[in-house]
Structure 1
Amino acid sequence: MSAADTHHTITDLASLQSLFGAVVEASVRKEVDHLHPVYQRWIEASPFAVLATVGPEGLDASPRGDPPGLVTIQDERTLLLPERAGNNRIDSLKNILGDPRVALLFLVPGVGETLRVNGRARISVEPALLQRLAMDGKPPRCVLVIHVETVFFQCARAMKRSKLWEAQAQAQAQAQARVPTAGEMLATLTNDGIDGKAYDLALPERQRNTLY
């Protein structure tokens, strides 16, 4: 790294935080340590997630997909993620053997917000569990049993910037009918400490004004 690069590199927390300012109340209060019912609705609607793991050779992020509800909610602190046939690299599984920490990013087609789950996983081959999560009569190779530690939703700015769902207006309308809005989730999670309707009403303009 050159001297110029070093001069323009952030290396301490105070300098980093000064670039972004204080965390807003909603960003703090939306995080919980369990699968709140409002977040369970989101997971049940999601057909796609990205699974992140960490291992001795670095990090890995791998897509997972099934019909909506690809991850089964066992209880408010446990998720079941079936490992179906793939390319047999099993990068994620090898990482979990050495380090159980995992993160999941859930997407719902047409919806701007995403849902983030962090926790720890173990690999199960319990026969009854494999049969329970079979698809088209074929059980998964194994199941990740994930103990949930933190859950929160991510705002829609990334989706708006990327225009990822812009060509899917019909899917967006259908998905939003099933999935709670950002304001609804915040109102529920804070016992109406945050006005959900007001939040949703102000959100489009706020996001337009803060995309960059």
Structure 2
Amino acid sequence: MSQITSLEQLEALYDQPHPLAVSKEITELEQHAVTFIKNSPFVLISTTDKNGFADISPRGGEAGFIRVLDSKTLAFADSAGNNRLDSLKNLVTQPEMGLLFMIPGIGEVVRAKGIASLHRDEDLLSLFSDPKPPKLVVKIHIEKILFHCPKAIAIAKLWNVESHVDRALLPSLLRIIQDQTSE
């Protein structure tokens, strides 16, 4: 049988993780995670749609666009986008969220999991009112957080300028969407 259908089959293929790999998952933000998040201009957020499918969406801004409110809470303003609201709709019914923070030039990433909620109260909105208040703020109660090793970033040569692909590889996003939706 080639398909893995049980945890036992999967775990039989691999050695036990190093104790540090297991213990590095903690339940609240500490100094290094706070420093990383405050300096991260980019995060991938993972949500789950009503059918149980995972959805991943990028978010970016000036370093610190995701605020650390306390050792268990992060928040960020929803910024203007295409108004599909996929992630926000998902969070209304499935509040579990994953976050993957990245800093250009640093190989390690920070992974976090938590319970998200959407807010419109003035105190939260005012934290993100430069230049104008957002429509809402996403608040995340942290359940688990860990630093992830830089191996994937190194293998992909993600931060290596010499490995960057010429943009001419693909047409503009508008052209792609037009090609995909024309009949």
Q: TM-score, normalised by structure 1?
A: 0.73
* Correspondence for 2:69 among 52, 69, 74: 74
| Residue 38 (structure 1) aligns with | 32
Query: Which one-letter code corresponds to 2:89 in the other structure?
Result: K
CA distance in 1, matches of 2:108, 2:13: 24
| Residue 145 (structure 1) aligns with | 139
CA distance in 2, matches of 1:96, 1:90: 10
Structure 1 residue 12 corresponds to structure 2 residue 12? no
RMSD: 1.2
* Correspondence for 2:84 among 86, 89, 94: 89
CA distance in 2, matches of 1:160, 1:20: 22
Higher mean alpha-carbon deviation, 147-156 vs 55-64, is at 55-64
CA distance in 2, matches of 1:121, 1:94: 12
* Correspondence for 1:48 among 42, 52, 56: 42
Query: Which one-letter code corresponds to 2:17 in the other structure?
Result: V
Q: Structure 1, residues 59-98: CA drift from partner, whole Å, max 9, x if none?
A: 2100010111121000000001110110001101101110
Structure 1 residue 60 corresponds to structure 2 residue 55? yes
CA distance in 2, matches of 1:105, 1:140: 23
Task: Quote how far apart the aligned CAs of 1:20 are.
Answer: 2.1
CA distance in 2, matches of 1:21, 1:15: 12
| Residue 112 (structure 1) aligns with | 107
Unmatched runs of 5 consecutive residues or more in structure 2: 163-183
Runs of 4+ in 1 over 6 A off after TM superposition: none
| Residue 133 (structure 1) aligns with | 128
Count of residues in correspondence between the two structures: 161
Q: Secondary structure at the match of 2:9?
A: helix
Query: Which one-letter code corresponds to 2:156 in the other structure?
Result: S
Unmatched runs of 5 consecutive residues or more in structure 1: 1-6, 169-212
Q: Structure 1, residues 4-55: CA drift from partner, whole Å, max 9, x if none?
A: xxx2110111111122211112211211000111211111110000010012
CA distance in 1, matches of 2:37, 2:137: 17
| Residue 118 (structure 2) aligns with | 123
Task: Quote how far apart the aligned CAs of 1:116 are.
Answer: 0.3
% same residue: 37
